[in-house]
């Protein structure tokens, strides 16, 4: 009973951490999905200069540690005079990082669609953008759901790096309570919460997969 009371007493703090984690997570997804989709289309169909810039983008953001990218955003940008709020800096970093992975996922998905689909659409008089919107993207969505799910779950866990740069996310709050009370209970609570979020996401994606699989 004592233990239960302790958990209840720390919940308000934990909740504030959870709220920050959720806010950054959702903001990242909202921005990273369109970034990934547009960059993927740019890589597939864009003019050479765009393709090159996008290649550079995914190369750098997928080829370096996320923690180091956060360090640059938080400690590097102020040196060259760019001051962002911690929330903005974190959201931008996570968006660009996740966007780079999603770009490659979506590009692979778009390129896996048979070229006969483009030809059939063209022979029916559809423009390129009509073809993408109505024929190619809907089929791509079905194919990229599994890897997108992995990326979405990864992102949940990667938000824990916020703790390292001092933002009061779920893990950092848990750590603070741990140092204050010298009790590992907050870690257990955080552990369970991360697990719940990941599981909900996996469930959500498998529902989507089922919905998009009706035609198979």
Binding site for another protein (CB under 8 A): 114, 116-117, 119-120, 122-126, 130, 134-135, 138-139, 142, 214-216
d(CA 23, CA 142): 27
Which is nearest to 6 in space by CA: 177, 196, 179, 190?
A: 177
Three-state helix/strand/coil letters over 116-127 = HHHHHHHHCCCC
d(CA 115, CA 168): 49
How far apart are CB 132 and another protein at their closest, in Å?
Answer: 12
Which lies closer to another protein via its Cβ, residue 8 or residue 214?
214
How far apart are CB 122 and another protein at their closest, in Å?
Answer: 7
How far apart are CB 33 and another protein at their closest, in Å?
Answer: 20
Which lies closer to another protein via its Cβ, residue 83 or residue 115?
115
How far apart are CB 129 and another protein at their closest, in Å?
Answer: 11
Q: Quickly list DSSP for 6-39.
A: HHHHHHHHHHHHHHHHHHHHHHHHHHHHHHHHHH
Which lies closer to another protein via its Cβ, residue 134 or residue 157?
134
Which lies closer to another protein via its Cβ, residue 121 or residue 155?
121
């Amino acid at each position: 009973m004592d233990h239960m009371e302790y958990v209840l007493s720390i919940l308000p703090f934990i909740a504030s951490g959870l709220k920050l984690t959720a806010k950054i997570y959702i903001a990242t997804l909202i921005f990273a999905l369109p970034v990934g989709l547009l960059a993927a289309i740019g890589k597939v169909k864009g003019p050479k200069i765009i393709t090159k810039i996008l290649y550079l983008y995914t190369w750098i953001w997928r080829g370096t540690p996320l923690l180091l990218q956060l360090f640059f955003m938080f400690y590097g940008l102020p040196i060259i005079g760019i001051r962002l709020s911690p929330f903005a800096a974190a959201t931008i970093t996570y968006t660009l990082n996740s966007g780079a992975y999603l770009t490659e996922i979506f590009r692979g998905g778009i390129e896996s669609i048979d070229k006969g689909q483009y030809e059939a659409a063209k022979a029916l008089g559809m423009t390129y953008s009509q073809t993408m919107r109505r024929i190619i993207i809907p089929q791509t969505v079905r194919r990229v759901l599994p890897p997108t799910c992995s990326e979405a779950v990864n992102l949940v866990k990667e938000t824990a790096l916020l703790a390292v740069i001092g933002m009061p996310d779920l893990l950092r709050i848990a750590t603070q309570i741990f140092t204050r009370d010298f009790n590992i209970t907050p870690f257990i609570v955080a552990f369970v919460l991360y697990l719940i979020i990941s599981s909900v996401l996996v469930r959500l994606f498998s529902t989507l997969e089922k919905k998009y699989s009706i035609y198979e």
